[in-house]
Amino acid sequence: MNTARYANIFKGLVAIGIVALVWFPDVAWELFVALSHFIFEVFHLIFEVFHIIFEMVEISLDFLIEHLLETAVHTTEIIVFYLIMAMILFLVYGLFQWLRGAYRRWWDAFMAKLKSLKMGVKQMFQGMNMAEKASWLALVVVAVITRMLLGF
């Protein structure tokens, strides 16, 4: 629909949220604590599922190697350990390769966006008259001085 209408609805919801936060800080805090607890519980559940899957793979490999190769328990545990380590290293290597490619794609997109932003600022600055350029310079000087006085 109309983006201006959605922007006004969003601004209204933000204003209502700020008023509710000021009037009911205890409720807002309890909502934050409940949501963070829920997020931690979801992460805990995910890790539990991964742990159960890992244990199932380990037990299956133990049984398979012990019966196929007819090895002792200690030897089977050593073989399974190195098999699992090899699988984990293979997965980590694949993840590393994927992350490298994803980072490269993100960096290229970021640099293209930055280049277009610089060109837009350059064109805007070239279209200004001298008084507008002086006011921008004064604004930058005031911002830098304020940052130096308040930020360090």
Whether 126 maps to a domain, the answer reads no
Element (DSSP H or E) covering residue 102: helix 73-126
Whether 127 maps to a domain, the answer reads no
Cα 46 to Cα 53, 56, 148, distances in angstroms: 11, 15, 46
Q: Which residue has the tokens 């008084």?
A: 131
Whether 150 maps to a domain, the answer reads no
pLDDT digits (tens, 9 = 90+) for 63-91: 999 888 888 888 999 999 999 999 999 99
pLDDT digits (tens, 9 = 90+) for 26-60: 888 898 999 999 999 999 999 999 999 999 999 99
Whether 143 maps to a domain, the answer reads no
Whether 114 maps to a domain, the answer reads yes
pLDDT at 152 over 70: no
Whether 14 maps to a domain, the answer reads yes
- Spatial separation of the C-alpha atoms in residues 55 and 65, rounded to whole Å: 15
pLDDT band at 1 (very low <50, low <70, confident <90, very high): low
Q: Residue 40: which domain range?
A: 3-119
Q: How many residues does the chain have?
A: 152
Return the higher-pLDDT residue of 23 and 98. Answer: 98
pLDDT at residue 39, rounded to an integer: 96
Q: Which residue has the tokens 């090899």?
A: 86
Whether 113 maps to a domain, the answer reads yes
pLDDT at residue 19, rounded to an integer: 86
Asked whether the beta carbons of 80 and 58 are under 8 A apart, the reply is yes
pLDDT at 6 over 90: no
pLDDT digits (tens, 9 = 90+) for 97-124: 999 999 999 999 999 999 999 999 899 8
Whether 131 maps to a domain, the answer reads no
Count the domains in the chain.
1
